[in-house]
């Protein structure tokens, strides 16, 4: 595993097309695209890293996975009355389907759907309490009290987040917002501004892997369902492409991070800030394609006899 990650980091460093950094959140616009990190936390307790695996980055939409877990914890299956479970086939910030579908977002990973999950775990609490709950969940999952939110990133997104404001008000017009819209947006921007490095994100992702000896933060059924949604919706209009190339559930963020789950085996975090045309990390996606090819890990079956298989602990 360590040799594989070293190879993957070297391939990323040698790739001259790093993709384009997101500029619509001013605080993210100045980040050097020439950075790459990867970490693998295995179900049997192994931890492997390569590249800039200790460099913190803004997890952005990867946070929607933790937000969904919290929202499910609050209201269970009732969440599905307010948000769907289908891919949208549109960009993460699109408003297009919301009008046609009466203010019910297609899934919890596009921005409109994530605003509903944020509204759900915020409901009945102050933004400070809700964000405290979110941080406690992430810290418990990663077993790391050093995980924080970057206030400057949150402020920067709140100041320029006209699209998310439009989405939230549109949801409110369809009676699909329970809390004050500004409070939901403030909470959402802070949620997206959680900072982690690849090592921390891989460790946090273990709550979606069957990890013996680790306290279960979500039930088996919820874990399977969150993984299913990551596979079908985790990369927006690039979800089919990611499933085809990588074959494992993943959730991306415009900060360039991707959390990938190999159920029963490992959580993998990869980060490179340059994005592809879908708004997902370009080098991160390519790295995961190489990782899946070299390990043979896929939820769609094992490689034929003689094919590459990499055991979690090797
Ligand atoms: O709401 C936004 O636009 C950002 N805070 C998060 C979007 C995002 O990460 C999309 N992912 N690739």
Mind listing the pLDDT tens digit for each residue in 9-41?
999 999 999 999 999 999 999 999 999 999 999
Distance (Å) from CA 116 to ligand 1 centroid: 14
Q: For the segment 251-261, what is each residue's pLDDT rounded down to a tens digit?
A: 999 999 999 99
**Spatial CA neighbour of 194 closest among 115, 133, 250, 247:** 133
Question: Catalytic site residue 153?
Answer: no
Query: CATH top-level class for 2-60+195-295?
Result: alpha beta
Question: Catalytic site residue 83?
Answer: no
Q: For the segment 115-160, what is each residue's pLDDT rounded down to a tens digit?
A: 999 999 999 999 999 999 999 999 999 999 999 999 999 999 999 9
Question: Catalytic site residue 188?
Answer: yes
Instruction: Pick the atom of ligand 1 nearest to 114's CA.
Output: 1
Instruction: Pick the atom of ligand 1 nearest to 92's CA.
Output: 10
Q: Virtual CA dihedral for 88, 91, 92, 93, nearest 10 degrees?
A: -110
Which DSSP helix (H) or strand (E) runs through 257?
A: strand 257-262
Model pLDDT, residue 23: 94
Residue 28 neighbours by CB under 8 Å, 6+ apart: 21, 22, 58, 153, 156, 254, 255, 273
Q: Annotated catalytic residue: which of 58, 61, 63, 88?
A: 61
CB-based contact 138:197 (threshold 8 Å): no
Three-state SS at 51: strand
Residue 53 neighbours by CB under 8 Å, 6+ apart: 37, 38, 39, 197, 198, 199
Question: Catalytic site residue 299?
Answer: no
Distance (Å) from CA 32 to ligand 1 centroid: 18
Distance (Å) from CA 237 to ligand 1 centroid: 13
CB-based contact 265:307 (threshold 8 Å): no
Say yes or no: do domains 2-60+195-295 and 63-193 share a fold.
yes
> What are the start-end ranges of the H helices in the chain?
2-14, 26-29, 63-75, 96-100, 111-122, 127-142, 151-160, 162-173, 181-192, 198-204, 220-233, 239-245, 282-295
Q: For the segment 175-194, what is each residue's pLDDT rounded down to a tens digit?
A: 999 999 999 999 999 999 99
As beta bridge partners, residue 58 has 195
Tokens of residue 273, six digits: 């800030």
Parse the chain into domains and list their residue ranges. 2-60+195-295, 63-193
What is the residue with the minimal CA distance to atom 4 of ligand 1? 60
Residue 2: Cβ within 10 Å count: 12
Model pLDDT, residue 314: 46
What is the residue with the minimal CA distance to atom 11 of ligand 1? 253
Total residue count of the chain as it appears in this document: 314
For the Cβ of 276 lying below 6 angstroms from any atom of ligand 1, the answer is: no
Q: Of 153-162, 180-189, 214-223, 279-288, which gets the smallest average pLDDT?
A: 214-223
Q: Annotated catalytic residue: which of 209, 246, 254, 260?
A: 254
Q: What is the pTM of this model?
A: 0.96
What is the residue with the minimal CA distance to atom 7 of ligand 1? 61
Q: For the segment 74-103, what is each residue's pLDDT rounded down to a tens digit?
A: 999 999 999 999 999 999 999 999 999 999
Distance (Å) from CA 122 to ligand 1 centroid: 19
For the Cβ of 253 lying below 6 angstroms from any atom of ligand 1, the answer is: yes
CB-based contact 270:263 (threshold 8 Å): no
Give, for ligand 1, the residue of 20, 88, 93, 271 to mutate: max count of ligand atoms closer than 8 Å to Cβ: 93
Give, for ligand 1, the residue of 88, 111, 160, 256 to mutate: max count of ligand atoms closer than 8 Å to Cβ: 111
Residue 312: band (very low, low, confident or very high) from pLDDT cuts 50, 70, 90: low
Strand 266-271 versus strand 194-196 pairing type: unpaired
Distance (Å) from CA 239 to ligand 1 centroid: 15
Distance (Å) from CA 254 to ligand 1 centroid: 5
Phi, psi of 194 (to 5 degrees): -60, 135
Residue 95: Cβ within 10 Å count: 16
What would be the CATH architecture of the domain defined by 63-193? 3-Layer(aba) Sandwich (3.40)
Instruction: Pick the atom of ligand 1 nearest to 111's CA.
Output: 1
Give the integer Cα–Cα distance in Å for 264 and 78: 28
Q: Is 305 left (phi over 0), alpha (psi -120 to 50) or beta?
A: beta
Give the integer Cα–Cα distance in Å for 201 and 215: 17
């Amino acid at each position: 595993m360590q040799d594989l990650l070293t190879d993957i980091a070297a391939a990323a460093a040698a790739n001259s097309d790093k993709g384009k950094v997101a500029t619509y959140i001013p605080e993210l616009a100045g980040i050097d695209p020439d950075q790459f990190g990867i970490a693998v936390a295995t179900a049997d307790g192994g931890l492997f890293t390569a590249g800039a695996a200790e460099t913190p980055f803004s997890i952005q939409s990867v946070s929607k996975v933790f937000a969904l877990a919290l929202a499910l914890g609050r209201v269970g299956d009732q969440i599905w009355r307010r948000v769907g479970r289908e891919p949208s086939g549109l960009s993460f910030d699109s408003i297009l389907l919301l009008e046609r579908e009466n203010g019910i977002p297609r899934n919890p990973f596009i921005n409109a759907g994530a605003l509903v999950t944020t509204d759900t775990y915020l409901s009945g609490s102050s933004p400070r309490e809700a964000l405290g709950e979110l941080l406690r969940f992430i810290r418990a999952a990663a077993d790391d009290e050093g995980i924080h939110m970057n206030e400057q990133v949150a402020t920067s997104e709140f100041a320029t987040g006209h699209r998310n404001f439009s989405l939230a008000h549109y949801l409110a017009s369809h009676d699909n917002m329970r809390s004050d819209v500004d409070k939901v947006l403030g909470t959402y921007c802070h949620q997206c501004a959680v900072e982690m490095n690849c090592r921390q994100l891989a460790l946090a992702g273990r709550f979606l892997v069957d990890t013996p000896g680790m306290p279960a933060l979500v039930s088996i059924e919820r874990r399977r369902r969150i993984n299913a949604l990551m596979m079908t919706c985790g990369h927006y209009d690039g979800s089919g492409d990611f499933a085809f190339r990588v074959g494992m559930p993943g959730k991306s963020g415009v900060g360039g991070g991707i959390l990938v789950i190999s159920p029963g085996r490992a959580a993998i975090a990869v980060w490179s800030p340059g994005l592809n045309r879908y708004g997902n990390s370009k080098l991160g996606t390519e790295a995961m394609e190489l990782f899946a090819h070299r390990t043979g890990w896929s939820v769609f079956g094992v490689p034929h006899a003689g094919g590459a298989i990499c055991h979690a602990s090797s």
